[in-house]
A and B are shown apart, each in its own frame.
Chain A
Amino acid sequence: MAKKKTLKQQDFQKKKLKVGKPRQQASNVTDTSFSARMISLPNQTRLKTAGGNENGAAAAGKLENDVIKRLSLCKHHSAITRKETLVHFKTLIPKVIRTKCITPMLNSCLPMICDEDAQVRAALLELFEELGQHDQNVLRLHSRALVLFINSSMTHIVPAIQRDSGKFLRCVLRYCGDELVRNSWAKLLKGLFGVLGWSVETSKNAKKSVSIGVKTSSVVSMNSAKAKKAQQSNIETLLEFVKCGCIEQTSDDGHEGVAAHSAYGKYLIPAAPQPFQHLKLFVRELKKNQTGSGSKLEEVLNVTLQDFAARREVLLAYFYDPMVLNASGIIVGGGECGRAASVLKDTLEGIKQLQEAQQGA
């Protein structure tokens, strides 16, 4: 019986092959041919083959390859994978810290300061700790990028990332505090103010804005336990930062010897990487053509402040009043935060006296 072929049957019919004719294309075939002069695969960095003769060198090369292979995992969509990668890096650090792969590793790890997952951030913090313990100079070398990313996280729109930025700053401060306070004193102070929800302009610009000088987010979530804890840690970070930048830790004994040492020091090879960073020879910055239009604080933001006195001056000029005001507010609130704030306030007063004494002298 000649039954009519249904559509379904037609689909499964075998196409007859004919001699001298190309095979018929299926109806759903996708054209994958392309014409390009060049194919670029930017995310596939060329992997170097380890061709070392020595066993140790080969092992090091193998490790390096391993690190480079895993770099792309830093951008993995799954937070767990990212965290695992960071944990793995941490275990490798003692072996690879002197190799070339540390810079690409840091470059791909740094953006994770702004990662949305709290566990990833915690792992990254541990990684930085490990780095700092093994070789401070690595962090010093990358201090500029660190500052930029920490600053970026300080201004992040997600409150959790913002709160955690203090932890990173604290960690980095421990190992390369000098670079931080020299190169980005005002910038980081301003960032910390932002994290704490304090306004830099206390009463000067009151006429301009109706807002109460604090962000709505900080007002709404002010009283949660998490926020309290974060506030406390951030205040402590601020305290450490201020101490690091303003109070010289020189013991006054043997003044002559120290002077002599410093005199030698000029002619020795400097211990820290990038000793002339403050000259900004290789740094790109946009020029501002409208100088004087903004407030003076904006001018100070990108200036490096090499000595303690200058930093104290900037602190007193722009940050002292709002800091004292806000700290006293928190002291009234009491608790752990209040305790930290009171320490901060005392330190600030000490700094003020020190500066006045120096200016008097």
Chain B
Amino acid sequence: MVRQSRAAILPTNVILLQNLVKRDPLSYREEFLQQYSHYESLRDIFMLKALEAQTTGDTNTKQFVELVGFVSQVCSCYPEETANFPNELKQLILDYHRSLPFEVREKIVSSLTMLRNKGVISAETLIQTMFPLLVAYSSQSNSLGHNSHAKEIRKLVYSTIISLLKSCNIGSKNQKLNKSTQAICFNLLDQPDSQGVWAARLTRELWRRGIWDDSRAVEIMTQAALNDDVKIAYSGALFFLGADKEREENFEEKSDDEDVDMEGLKHKMQINKKSGKRGKKLEAALKSVKKKSAAPKTPQGYLNFSAIHLLRDPQGFADKLFSKQLSSKNNNKFNLDQKIALMQLLSRLIGTHKLTVLGIYSYFLKYLTPKQRDVTKILAAAAQSSHDMVPPETIADLVRKIADEFVSDGVASEVAAAGLNTIREICSRAPLAIDETLLQDLTEYKGSKAKGVSMAAKGLVALYREVAPDMLKRKDRGKVASMELQESAREGRVSKRPQFGVENTTQGIAGIELLAQWKKKQQDADGQDVDENDDQNWEVEEEDNEEEDIEGEWVTVESDKEYDVDMSDSDDEKEKPKEEEEKIDPETAFRDLASSRVLTPADFAKLQELKTEQGVARLMGVRNEETVDSDRLVGPLKHRKATKDERIASIMEGREGREKFASRKSKRDEQRSTTNREKERKKNFVMMIHKRSVKGKQKMSLRDRQKVLRQHITKQKKKGH
């Protein structure tokens, strides 16, 4: 007993002491001080030996690592005695990191993180310590020692920074820290050597996690995209192209990572024997489901703006990007993929913000030949970069070039389809970019035998039926459009061809005339006003959840109330004469509707539905950041060479539910004891030879013997089953 108790209070190793100190800091103060001074002496030894190469696994190193961990664990118990400790660690790692062994460096980094978590040092201090390390261990030009473990340290430091920023931004955003970190990122980008890659990586990672979502972070990436270094510029471009998608995917993944099958559990509870354990399991599952549904999918205060929308100066950025990276003399440093990424970024910028970068259209011309590698991507970029605010002459060159290069009888059908589809995409954005003759030439392809080509040409025709039917040939115009044209000709009106510079702006609410028309129709049909004060109009989507509970209930029908059951509804409609639908002007509709009543969410939902029905949304300029899919430009392909993965997938699909064609022999020899039959067969030949069963076989007729052999073979074959 005595020995035990003595062992409990006598600290013979640091871990034990740490436990004791944490429990009762005041009583073990002397021991702590002793260890602290031991730490100090070891630290001095390390600094004395700083120039010599420290071998790892040294007892001193081990002790020092242990003590650093110990002191940082318990230093919150003795704030006065260890006031200088974090600062010492910081100096050690910053000034002597080259000469310290890897274990010590690692330990110091993790201890500093721990100190931050305990609130001993501020997050800013930690950031200020980590960034220099990140820079010091990333540069290749810097001659680091061969034992520096640069990669590990980089990884450690990088993950430390990420987790620090993550933990600091839980709940509410720590704007101060974010701003200071972003300032460091800006400085990194300014530096001549390629340190800025860290700024770009960090920003992208934090953007993906939704920790940084402000315009400052976007500004960092614009700086990165304009950087001289190829890698940094490319990562900047990729950020704008893909970061938002990544972010969405990230949050989606998070939301559906582990789904508890509640229905299944409930069912099991009904069937299985009821026990306390099962009940508890169900409760826990229920709790987790509730928690998950209650918790927001995205962090608090998270802004769902895409990076391109948060740009401060899109026009300036696009101009600089074009003049500095793409069209400058030293654009040879980029390879084709990088150039395409830059083109895509530029075109997306131009399309989203309707910018004017006139140089890019002639820049595209160089690449628009069918033999160009990845030409569909460039075609998509060209389509994306055209919009109605660009002078039509500029885009007309582009269209002409595409028509010349891609759309002719001498090229493969996919090429022609891609060209036509691209022209359609361009013209849907800038209808004036094509002249009548060219358009009419191109529409001739609707009779092509290749399906893709004819579909593409028909698409072009369909587009111009809506936009400017008078540019088409007479027979292509279609019934509605030609009737309209005739009517306007009769009335002497000018045809409403789109004109450059006249914007199709909407005032009030887009498409409200449709709603007004619909309302009117409904009123006529019902014969009474739709109840405007109905609360249900305000709730659109939420009803579904509650329905389940009500489903089985009976509706109480009170006898003394009269129910107005509409029996004659269908009859009414037939009788009603089809009245001429009068057109409602958008302005008057807006005035009428908006002044007379408040539009409910249900109304807006209906409006949306009507708009899509009419297909006007595409033409109203509401397209925002809609990207042109480069794969779709080619059109449907009949015989495309499948990739290896696809081929293997299809092979595997065919094999589903089929057993392998192979010998079953291997399956027969599973581990088991021998059967009587096998024992019989293995029995020594000499012992068996005189038995009648064997001797009888000799005397069998040839026919019988053959029969037996056949039987044996079939039996052997079936054996594996």
Contacts and interface: CB of A to CB of B under 8 A. Distances in A.
Please indicate which of the listed interface residues A111, A145, A155, A288 has the most CB atoms of chain B within 10 Å of its own CB: A155
Interface of A: 1, 38, 40, 42-43, 75, 107, 111, 114, 144-145, 148-149, 151-152, 154-158, 190-191, 194, 199, 208-211, 213-217, 220, 284-290, 293-294
Contact of B29 (A158, A190, A209): A209
B147 interface: yes
Interface stretch (B45-53, B203-211, B602-610): B45-53
A289 B125 CA distance: 14
B42 interface: yes
A155 B17 CA distance: 14
B45 A152 contact: yes
29 contacts: A1-B685, A38-B146, A42-B53, A42-B55, A144-B48, A145-B48, A148-B41, A154-B41, A156-B38, A157-B11, A157-B12, A157-B13, A157-B14, A194-B34, A214-B30, A215-B31, A216-B11, A216-B28, A217-B11, A284-B48, A284-B96, A285-B44, A286-B88, A286-B91, A286-B92, A288-B84, A289-B87, A293-B80, A294-B80
A213 B27 CA distance: 9
- Chain B contact-residue range equals 35 or more
Nearest to B39: A155
Which of B10, B41, B92, B147 counts the most A-chain CB atoms under 10 A from its CB?
B41
B702 to A, nearest CB: 26
A1 B52 CA distance: 73
Contact of A286 (B10, B27, B47, B48): B47
- For A42, A284, A286, A294, which residue has the most chain B Cβ atoms within 10 angstroms? A286
Given A155-B35, A157-B14, A286-B47, A199 B146 contact: no
A121 to B, nearest CB: 14
B34 A215 contact: yes
B10 A285 contact: no
Contacts of B42: 152
B31 A148 contact: no
A145 B51 CA distance: 14
A285 B14 CA distance: 26
Given A40-B146, A157-B35, A294-B83, 5 more contacts: A107-B52, A157-B38, A211-B30, A216-B28, A217-B11
Contacts, number: 107
Given A210-B27, A211-B30, A285 B47 contact: yes
B147 A40 contact: yes
B26 interface: yes
A199 B91 contact: no
A211 B17 CA distance: 15
Contact of A216 (B9, B52, B59): B9
Interface of B: 6, 9-14, 17, 26-31, 34-35, 37-38, 41-45, 47-48, 50, 52-53, 55, 58-60, 80, 83-84, 87-88, 91-92, 96, 146-147, 685
A158 B10 CA distance: 10
B140 to A, nearest CB: 12
A284 B55 contact: no
Contacts of B29: 208-211
Contact of A290 (B27, B47, B87): B87
A148 B48 contact: yes
A155 B70 CA distance: 15
A159 to B, nearest CB: 9
Contact of B45 (A149, A156, A217): A149
Nearest to B64: A152
B48 A211 contact: no
Nearest to B42: A152
A155 B83 CA distance: 20
Nearest to A153: B41
A208 B6 CA distance: 26
8 closest cross-chain pairs (CB), A and B: A155-B38, A152-B41, A210-B26, A151-B41, A209-B29, A155-B37, A284-B47, A215-B30
Contacts of A294: 80, 83-84
B37 A194 contact: yes
A107 B42 CA distance: 15
A43 B28 contact: no
B672 to A, nearest CB: 13
A107 B27 CA distance: 38
Nearest to A4: B669
Contacts of A216: 9-11, 28, 30-31
B44 A111 contact: no
Contacts of B37: 151, 155, 190-191, 194
A210 B53 CA distance: 43
A111 B60 contact: yes
A175 B47 CA distance: 25
Contact of B91 (A152, A156, A287, A293): A287
B30 to A, nearest CB: 5
Contacts of A154: 41
B445 to A, nearest CB: 57
